[in-house]
Structure 1
Amino acid sequence: MTTKTPKNYYDVLGVTREASAEQIKKAYRKLARKYHPDVSKEDDAETRMQEVNVAYDTLSDTAKKQEYDFQLDHPNFANSNSNHTHSHDFNDDVFHHYRSSQQQSDFSGFEDLFGRFGSGFGGGRNHQNDGAMRYKGEDQHARIDVELQVAYEGSTQKLSLQIPTYNAYGEPEVQRKTLEVKIPAGLKDGQQIRLNKQGQQGINGGENGDLYIEIHYPATHRYHVEGANVFCHVDISPWEAALGQNIEVNLPNGRNVNVSLPKNAKTGQQLRLKDQGIPAQPAGHLYLILNIVLPVAQTDQQLRAYQDFAEAFHQFNPR
């Protein structure tokens, strides 16, 4: 029976052994967004996310990284010393738990914010050992969907979060908390809110990490958002399009505005309302996407109207 050789953690994150801590973190965040099972379209997203979490947990920790590099350079030495004992302080406790988790590839009890989208295993025990190194908890990242109206008016929303941490026995567990988050008006699609010290718990009394919440405005049949620009689909009649009449449009902020259509407007044509998009700095624009809708002829008079229309445009060929 053959055993599968574990992947090199540097290869998993796509970095070299000379990569800085910032480069490692940047690579992790990029992969976390790509393989987050709640948003990824990859078939093996959950497995890849687990691999990325394990790799980042090792390479983002100086002590773990040094031991891992030593094992890469001296594989025979690492195997021959596998039975050596270690002093049972907090850091070794966390390291041995990590090694066990790595071998089992089982992170089912370690789900974090809104599914499995977070920064790995940065949390730590609550108690502090004298002389032990303090480590800041990892930052957490989450994405939430809010209605477009929130971009114009702001909102306060209550969020239920799941934060991975360790209990008093050094075992992984999920800490559940509910936060009241104030979302200010003017946030662009994809912009983040930082909640100070609401991320994973620090190790040995270190500071908690921060929580970053990415705001997203889901597309509807009428609206979609790109950054601070809002695109609105508007239905118009054939005569409004041909004659260039005025129409009333309901804006995402709830106000109504009169818009003058150009003569002979076409389906798909866009009209820009300057600074009427998301009130960011600078404000986005609102683009009206015109859609000409033909009425259904249900009476003799309406049928005759279409007949008169056909006779008036007998030279017109739409094909």
Structure 2
Amino acid sequence: MAKRDFYDVLGVSKGASADEIKKAYRQKAKELHPDRNADNPKAEAQFKEAAEAYDVLKDAEKKAAYDRFGHAAFEGGMGGGGQRRPGGGYGGQGDFASAFSDVFDDLFGDIMGGQRRGGGQRATRGADLRYNLRVSLEEAHRGLQKTITVPTAVQCDTCHGTGAEGGAEPATCPTCSGMGKVRAQQGFFTVERICPTCSGAGQIVKNPCNVCGGAGRVEKDRALSVNIPAGVETGTRIRLGGEGEAGLRGGPSGDLYIFIEVEAHPLFTREGENLFCHVPVSMASAALGGDIEVPTIDGGRSRVKIPAGSQSGKQMRLRGKGMPRLRGAGAGDMYIELAVETPVNLTSRQRELLREFDDLSEHNNPESSGFFRKVKTFWDGMKG
């Protein structure tokens, strides 16, 4: 079977630059890598074909010979570009392994084993911390300044975060020469692993600090003053940059995230920026109407007029008496919800008066009268 043109294999023009050729091969290698194409039996052959094409076109001398003589440049000693192998590759310096090695870092070099390739980590950022803070509804309404104690890791004062005795700088790892990784050739592939000596740090501490044991940080409780803005609710998250765990070997500190939980209140129920207050009223007060005094979340009092004939569940709104808006001006509203209370433990005189009242109330209960008319119609319909 005739070999495909190397430029067609990589999908580039004959006048493509070295960077364009490398970029095209990188894309092909990612698309055709056998590990990503387990269900495509042709992928491995195409992968090797792309590597073969790149091995020739990346080299200026080989590329010039190929441009002049085509595939014949590498057959029968013509062009001096290496002898063709029985399996289709080319011998000499340029082979599949070297072609793939050129883009190995591009394909697999972003993150390996939690360490960034291209150098070890002299310092590691500290972990982020979470603190759960419970506040009352009154505190959430007015906001507050609160001091909290956070158990965390802080920079060791003895070694100033270096992890070495006397604050000396760590030494370069002799195994990986500071790269934090070691490479080994396995057939066509170059395998890279985290350095076993320095665990990827690229440096070692010869004389560890006797206080922190070489970590560069120690466990300690820290007292922090936190500003809780008015209007917070359960689930609100407050970030304190750099107040998390100290980094290793002088690395930057992580962040502290405070998660707010607002406690339930005995009088008020919260729904977003609005508050609801369940107020019981006597049957007589609901029937006759009048004024009642209700509490507000700021500790004040408000007088509310109950309309005559109010029923259970009726709501009255007090504008601006709810919770402050966390990200905006003004505040929500407060809703008074009436619960008409039925009297209990009646005296004989009260029973007598209620019976008399009931006898005189035939036309004073429109809702119940309408309901029972519907019931009578329903029963008559069932009989029919």
Q: Could you state the TM-score of these two structures normalised by the residue count of structure 1?
A: 0.52
Distance of aligned partners of 1:175 and 1:64 in 2 relative to their CA distance in 1, 3 Å threshold: farther
> What is the letter of the counterpart of residue 125 of structure 2?
K
Identical aligned residues as a percent: 31
Aligned residue among 194, 199, 206 for 2:244: 199
SS of 2:302's equivalent?
strand
> What is the letter of the counterpart of residue 293 of structure 1?
E
Q: Which digits, 9 at most, give the CA deviation of each residue in 1:174-219, with x for residues without a partner?
A: 6433333332333344333333322222233222222222323222
SS of 2:317's equivalent?
strand
Q: Aligned equivalents of 1:138 and 1:247: distance in 2?
A: 55
Q: Which digits, 9 at most, give the CA deviation of each residue in 1:36-57, with x for residues without a partner?
A: xxxxxxxxxxxxxxxxxxxxxx
Aligned residue among 258, 280, 295 for 1:250: 295
Distance of aligned partners of 1:242 and 1:206 in 2 relative to their CA distance in 1, 3 Å threshold: farther
- Alpha-carbon RMSD: 3.6
Q: Aligned equivalents of 2:332 and 2:310: distance in 1?
A: 24
> What is the letter of the counterpart of residue 178 of structure 1?
A
Contact 1:201 1:209 in 2 (8 A): yes
Contact 1:147 1:218 in 2 (8 A): yes
In the alignment, what sits opposite 1:272?
317
In the alignment, what sits opposite 2:353?
305
Contact 1:188 1:278 in 2 (8 A): no
In the alignment, what sits opposite 1:145?
134
> What is the letter of the counterpart of residue 359 of structure 2?
E
Q: CA deviation at 1:173?
A: 8.0
Shifted more, 292-301 versus 282-291: the winner is 292-301
Q: CA deviation at 1:249?
A: 0.5
> What is the letter of the counterpart of residue 203 of structure 1?
L
Contact 1:218 1:224 in 2 (8 A): no
Aligned residue among 166, 190, 204 for 2:235: 190
Q: Aligned equivalents of 2:357 and 2:226: distance in 1?
A: 57
Q: CA deviation at 1:165?
A: 7.7
Contact 2:215 2:249 in 1 (8 A): no
Aligned residue among 262, 266, 269 for 1:224: 269
> What is the letter of the counterpart of residue 255 of structure 1?
G
Structure 1 residues 1-319: aligned runs within 5 Å: 66-68=111-113, 132-163=121-152, 167-170=212-215, 175-280=220-325, 281-282=328-329, 283-314=331-362, 316=365, 317=368
Contact 1:190 1:227 in 2 (8 A): no
In the alignment, what sits opposite 1:118?
none
Distance of aligned partners of 1:256 and 1:207 in 2 relative to their CA distance in 1, 3 Å threshold: same
SS of 1:152's equivalent?
helix
Q: CA deviation at 1:223?
A: 1.8
Q: Aligned equivalents of 1:241 and 1:162: distance in 2?
A: 56
Q: Which digits, 9 at most, give the CA deviation of each residue in 1:75-129, with x for residues without a partner?
A: xxxxxxxxxxxxxxxx89xxxxxxxxxxxxxxxxxxxxxxxxxxxxxxxxxxxxx
In the alignment, what sits opposite 1:34?
none
Q: Quick check: which has more Rg, 1 or 2?
A: 2
Q: Which digits, 9 at most, give the CA deviation of each residue in 1:237-270, with x for residues without a partner?
A: 2233223322110111100001122343232333
Distance of aligned partners of 1:313 and 1:181 in 2 relative to their CA distance in 1, 3 Å threshold: same
Aligned length: 199
Q: CA deviation at 1:146?
A: 1.1
Q: Aligned equivalents of 1:237 and 1:260: distance in 2?
A: 14
SS of 2:139's equivalent?
helix
Structure 1, unaligned stretches of length 5 or more?
A: 1-62, 70-90, 93-130
Q: Which digits, 9 at most, give the CA deviation of each residue in 1:272-299, with x for residues without a partner?
A: 2222111222312212222222232443
Q: CA deviation at 1:224?
A: 2.2
